[in-house]
Amino acid sequence: MDQSLIDRNVDEILTPASDLEGLVEEIVEQAVSAYRLPSYHPTRWAFVNRTLDIVDSVTKGRAAWVVRFFSYIFFGGTAAVVNLIVFYVALNYIPLHMTTLAQNVFASVLACEISLIANFIPNDYFTFRHMPGRARSWGARCARFHITSLVGSGLTILIQLFFSHVVHILPLLGQALALIIVLFYNFSFHHLFTYRHVKTAVAVAH
Which tops the pLDDT comparison, 103 or 204? 103
Cβ pair 111, 84 in contact under 8 A: yes
Cβ pair 86, 115 in contact under 8 A: yes
156-175 confidence digits (pLDDT tens): 889 999 998 898 888 889 88
Q: Does residue 125 have a pLDDT over 70?
A: yes
Cβ pair 134, 195 in contact under 8 A: yes
Cβ pair 193, 129 in contact under 8 A: no
Burial class, 105, CB count within 10 angstroms (exposed 0-12 / middle 13-18 / buried 19+): middle
pLDDT at residue 70 in the model: 87
pLDDT at residue 205 in the model: 42
Mean pLDDT of the chain: 78
Query: Amino acid identity, residue 54?
Result: I
2-22 confidence digits (pLDDT tens): 555 455 554 555 445 555 565
Cβ pair 110, 153 in contact under 8 A: no
Cβ pair 64, 43 in contact under 8 A: no
DSSP state of 128: T
67-81 confidence digits (pLDDT tens): 888 889 899 889 889
Q: Does residue 117 have a pLDDT over 80?
A: yes
Of the ranges 44-48, 76-80, 118-122, which is most confident? 118-122
Mean pLDDT to the nearest integer, 109-126? 90
pLDDT at residue 153 in the model: 81
Query: How many residues are listed for the chain in this entry?
Result: 206
Which tops the pLDDT comparison, 26 or 153? 153
Q: Does residue 31 have a pLDDT over 70?
A: no
Query: Taking Cα atoms as reference points, which of 183, 175, 185, 117 lies closest to residue 146?
Result: 117
Compute CA distances 155 → 118, 172, 186, whole Å.
18, 16, 10
Cα 48 versus chain centre, distance: 19
